[in-house]
Structure 1
């Protein structure tokens, strides 16, 4: 998730620090930016958001190209700073918009906390809801189905926030993702770097039309979105 330049001598201000079932989660302010840190690993900040927004648009475009349903249902894995949710809610093409987030702290920061300025309008949208759950468990247990699943819970398939997320990008984990997708449904996965190995895993798991789109960011190498159409 992209960063931007700031005064290197600024000292980040910790706004909240929580210990949860998956470790420590910190929200801090660094200059004009809000940053989320999990177990000492930088996850994202409020500097840009173009790749998180593109993640949602790629899924919408893929559905439109295949003459998908009107008002498709969208599942977003990971709330983060709210860029993907806010962008989806601003798009009248989407029907139901569900965001699965396992960290209670992040949900609280959006519901009346420092991140509310980014997501309050989206959360007031009757199409949108936050589901407090672990995504891996959710895709394997829910009876709900969706036309698109946008994953943004890690820095990529090869750089997960916690070890228990590793399984999401395996054939078994992708089977869970396919389980919640309706026929012709789209899976879009955000990553800080391309992964030919993950593309091959998608194909081996039965996903079709697998491709990777690069997204230029303000600094550094491009982010990418892995896109695929569900099997069956």
Structure 2
């Protein structure tokens, strides 16, 4: 079996640790310590995050979608596949090197999506971006961590607490959706969403779509 080769590393701002980009043949992995955050062979649940969110807002004209976390680009690629030409997609990525990896060693995986005219890349904290906006987005998609537990960066907890959910609700347009990816269920987060006034649906999905894999969880939380 081919060995893993480390291609690069990147510090997560705010003392969040160090990401490591690794490659084995045509397979890529992004690691944080001993935790694999993403793997190029597993894309089903990230793609579902985009397609299920789009189903909630497909009546919107000129929809604006915010994606928190570029990662390996699976969510962005799936979003661009279903969004109309007049849509706008803002991708907020905290770690500049992740954007560089998308244009460099993982360019074949991203398939030119960063150059799509509908896409705007914002290098910075998605939470700060959300807090600075009002009635701006039809959909906010969050895949910046392993879920609402703030594994990679403690300040990510602020996205999922009561204040963070209030900020997301304010940043959404009427009938907008907040879609959140997680590696595991979180009943407390479901309760917070509902307490914040979101009509909330929990959706179990497989890591590799119809081909199976680990069970992940998505929340589709609708603003009234």
Correspondent of 2:7 among 1, 9, 15:
15
Deviates more, 1:15-24 or 1:76-85: 15-24
The offset of 1:61, in angstroms, is 0.8
Q: Does 1:103 align with 2:95?
A: yes
**1:90 alignment partner, SS class:** helix
Aligned equivalents of 2:33, 2:126: Cα separation in 1: 18
- Alpha carbons 2:45, 2:207 under 8 Å: kept: yes
Aligned equivalents of 1:40, 1:105: Cα separation in 2: 20
Runs of 4 or more, structure 1, over 4 Å off, are: none
Pair 1:169–1:92, CA change in 2 (3 A): closer
The offset of 1:25, in angstroms, is 1.7
Deviates more, 1:136-145 or 1:173-182: 136-145
Deviates more, 1:14-23 or 1:94-103: 14-23
- Alpha carbons 2:133, 2:170 under 8 Å: kept: no
Q: Deviations over 1:142-186 (max 9, x none)?
A: 467110011100111135311111121111111121121101100
The offset of 1:90, in angstroms, is 2.0
The offset of 1:214, in angstroms, is 0.9
Q: Does 1:229 align with 2:219?
A: no
Q: Does 1:161 align with 2:142?
A: no
The offset of 1:39, in angstroms, is 4.7
Pair 1:129–1:40, CA change in 2 (3 A): farther
Indicate the residue corresponding to 1:43 in structure 2.
37
Instruction: For structure 1, list consecutive stretches of 5 or more residues without a partner in the other structure.
Output: 1-6
TM-score, L = length of structure 1 = 0.87
Instruction: For structure 2, list consecutive stretches of 5 or more residues without a partner in the other structure.
Output: none
